[in-house]
Structure 1
């Protein structure tokens, strides 16, 4: 009898194959102490392992860069940076000087970083602990002459099952043979998930006991759309999932017909459809999905997954690369947005009892002007390479916006004096994420060039419900009339002051909320690149005039449930 178990969806798609159980290399670390006469030899062995690791990681980066996207290849840039990190190297040398053998010294130093990452609230930062483990395993394997996990020997259709896949192991995946990935550990931001999405390999995680349920060589089906895994499937299940896979492939072909078309409603109203990105590694996805611009460049990813702040030059190159790729299409770059669920371990910021209401985003930047000015200067330098618009996150007062803009103007004037010429004006806007900003949006609109509504945070702050807390998840209600009322107010404030208004977050991707947003008069939606063509197709089937009637009605509802019922009834979904 087939058994269906469900896990966390990491990468969409449907795959069939035999189970391939992947285990970590057999590395044992000796507890033996060395004597002082052996210190130089152990230090030398450690330094040799670093040199070998440099060569190996550069080769991995090159291989991944050739076959996958820059996002996947950049994983190994971070590994190389850690190898070169003075603090990491100093700790290991100190442990050797304290008479630990080189392998033990690597383990002791690595454990400090691993524990630090695992203690953070951010799932993204927790996932970086595996990077440290991977680096330490590589260094130790080089000293011991041990071969790390080798997936290159796979030569038939398989679904890889593992406790967790290190970045090094993930880089060996070949979509010709690897038809799915199932892991006990690892989240949506894990490197195995990033690489799986790049390769269009379905992936599922969060199955703690998966290794006890499977046998190497048995047949298996993986459905990355639902998170389902079918163990010991019969011919009936195989046929059903084959049909589902074929239907999905046909759907993707149909959506490509919308490449090159305008995004407009059935009654001819244009809505700009932009993409959300993490950095230059995403620009290929932006182009292949025909985005009309970039609505949200999350610059915090430049600061994460590393041991120190990015330099002005590093930031300049990243911003320039994105701007240059867009052929003068709008590129909205959000300044550093940390705090809440996004932490930078190397800053050693004090723990806050409620970080979502603490010193995050623009509050942090205005109190740490040198960090802010470095980013603003990099943005100013890059502005000549495309259509740059700068957005400040989590603004709650007009004063915050004015102070942030003044610093941008100051850095622009300094740079203009250095190069001896004037640059074009840089449009500045705010991400409306708080009820405060929404309530004063009419006054704010007189100062800004545009608004972008950050729906995820606006919902949680309006409903006083942490979106990451399962205990109050029922109160995180995108369709609550209070949330919808604030969104409408911001859109009207923009229209009344001739300022365009966009939205990003989950509401920009949800068909039901898109219908309401069209009725409210939204100018722009910013979504993940892979959703662009499907949303363009959906918008082509609705009339703005019909949605205007719906959007007026929902504001009179008493609850989110009433709103959803009204939407379903209006869109004939009941």
Structure 2
């Protein structure tokens, strides 16, 4: 009998194949200590393993870069940086001087880093623990002369099953043969997820003890749209999923008809559709899906997955690339947004009992002015190369905005003076993601050039429900009248002050929410590039006047359930 198991969706698509169980090479580390006469020999062995790892990782980076995107290849830049990290190297050398052999010294240093990463609240940073495991395993394997997991031998359609896939193993995936990935561990920010999405390989995670539930060679279907894994499917199920796969491919092909078309409602109202990006590696997706601009450039990814702060020059090059390649289209670059579920381990910031209400985002930047100024200088320099707009995150008071903008103006004036030139004005706005900012949006609108509503945080702060906490997930309600009322207030404040208003949270991708947002009078939606054409298709099939009537009704509802009922009834979704 077939069995259906549901996990976490990491990469969309449907895959068929026989199960290929991938297990890590067992690397036993000797517990033996050494005497002082052996210290130099062990240090030499360690340094040789480092040199060998450099060659291996550069080869992996080259291989990945040749057939995947820069985002996937950059995984190995971070590994190379860790090999060169003074703190990591010093800890290993100290361990050897304390009479551990080289293998044990590497293992112990790795444990301390892994423990640190795994103790962090951020799922992104927890996922970095696997990077450390991968690096340490490679160094120890080099000393022992042991080969790591090899997926290059796969030569038939398979679905790879593993407890977790290391970055090194993920880099060996070939979409010609690997039709799916199922893992017990690994979130949406894991490297196996990033590479799977780059290769368009469906992936599902979070299925505990998956290896004990399957056998090598068994048939399986993986549905990356639903997170379902069907073990030993029947012929009927194989046929049904083949049809689903074919329908999805036809749907994606049909959406290409919307490339080059305006994003207009049936009654002629233009809704600008922008793209959310992490960096230059996403620009091809922005272009391929015909985005009208970049609505949210999340600069925190420049600071993550590394061992130190990015330099001004490194930031400048990243911003310049995005601005240059989007021609004159607007590019909204959000300044560093860390804290909450996004942490930078190398800053050694004090642990906060409630990081979502702590020193995050603009609060961190205003208290760490040199970090902020470095980013602002890079942004000012890059502004010559395109249509830059700067956005400050998590503003709660007018004073925070004014202080941040003053620093930007200072850096701009200094750059102009040093280079004897006059730059164009840079539009400056805020991400509205706190109830306080929404409540004073009419006053803020007199200071800012635009608003972008970050609905993910606005919902959690309004409902006092941590969006990452399963215990209160039922209270994280996008359609609650209090949330909708704040969104409507921000849009009205913008319109009455001739400032445009966009939305860049998850609500911008949800058709039910989009209907309300258009009714409220939103100007712009910023979404993942791959969602853009389906949203353009949706927008072109509705009337703003109809949505205005719906939006008026929902604001008088008593609950999120009542709002959803009204939307579904109005849009004939019941």
2:556 maps to 1:556:
yes
Q: CA deviation at 1:140?
A: 1.0
Q: Distance in 2 between matches of 1:372 and 1:392?
A: 11
Q: Distance in 1 between matches of 2:31 and 2:239?
A: 54
Which residue matches 2:255? 255
Q: 1:450-495, CA deviations, whole angstroms, 9 ceiling, x for partnerless residues?
A: 0000001111111111111112111111111111111111111111
Which residue matches 2:39? 39
Which residue matches 1:91? 91
Which residue matches 2:276? 276
Which residue matches 2:266? 266
Which residue matches 1:326? 326
Q: Distance in 2 between matches of 1:316 and 1:53?
A: 30
Which residue matches 2:395? 395
Q: CA deviation at 1:26?
A: 2.3
Q: Distance in 1 between matches of 2:37 and 2:382?
A: 54
Uncovered stretches (5+) of structure 2, i.e. residues with no partner: none
Q: Distance in 1 between matches of 2:564 and 2:93?
A: 61
Q: 1:55-94, aligned counterparts within 5 Å? A: 55-94=55-94
Partner SS, residue 352 of structure 1: coil
Q: Distance in 1 between matches of 2:358 and 2:33?
A: 46
Q: Is the 8 A contact 2:22 2:149 kept in 1?
A: yes
Q: 1:287-436, aligned counterparts within 5 Å? A: 287-436=287-436
Question: Cα RMSD (Å) of the superposition?
Answer: 0.8
Partner SS, residue 282 of structure 2: helix
Which residue matches 2:224? 224
Q: 1:203-231, CA deviations, whole angstroms, 9 ceiling, x for partnerless residues?
A: 01111111111110111111111111111
Which residue matches 1:467? 467
Q: CA deviation at 1:268?
A: 1.1
Q: Which runs of 4+ in 1 moved over 6 A?
A: none
Q: CA deviation at 1:129?
A: 0.2
Which residue matches 2:174? 174
Q: CA deviation at 1:390?
A: 0.4
Q: Distance in 1 between matches of 2:101 and 2:285?
A: 46
Partner SS, residue 349 of structure 1: coil
Uncovered stretches (5+) of structure 1, i.e. residues with no partner: none
Q: CA deviation at 1:346?
A: 1.2
Q: Distance in 2 between matches of 1:136 and 1:547?
A: 56
2:549 maps to 1:534:
no
Q: 1:495-540, CA deviations, whole angstroms, 9 ceiling, x for partnerless residues?
A: 1111110001110000001000001110100011110010000001
Q: Distance in 1 between matches of 2:424 and 2:74?
A: 32
Q: Distance in 1 between matches of 2:102 and 2:20?
A: 33
Q: Distance in 1 between matches of 2:529 and 2:124?
A: 20
Which residue matches 2:106? 106
Q: 1:123-168, CA deviations, whole angstroms, 9 ceiling, x for partnerless residues?
A: 0000000000011111111111111110001000000001100000
Deviates more, 1:347-356 or 1:391-400: 347-356
2:141 maps to 1:141:
yes
Which residue matches 2:16? 16
Q: Distance in 1 between matches of 2:110 and 2:157?
A: 36
Q: Distance in 1 between matches of 2:285 and 2:146?
A: 37
Which residue matches 2:437? 437
Which residue matches 1:570? 570
TM-score, L = length of structure 1: 0.99
Q: Distance in 1 between matches of 2:47 and 2:286?
A: 41
Partner SS, residue 30 of structure 1: coil
Partner SS, residue 160 of structure 2: strand
2:193 maps to 1:193:
yes
2:183 maps to 1:183:
yes
Q: Distance in 2 between matches of 1:144 and 1:210?
A: 30
Deviates more, 1:243-252 or 1:33-42: 33-42
Which residue matches 1:446? 446
Q: Distance in 2 between matches of 1:203 and 1:64?
A: 18
TM-score, L = length of structure 2: 0.99
Q: 1:398-422, CA deviations, whole angstroms, 9 ceiling, x for partnerless residues?
A: 1100000000001111111111111
Partner SS, residue 222 of structure 2: strand
Q: Distance in 2 between matches of 1:322 and 1:79?
A: 25
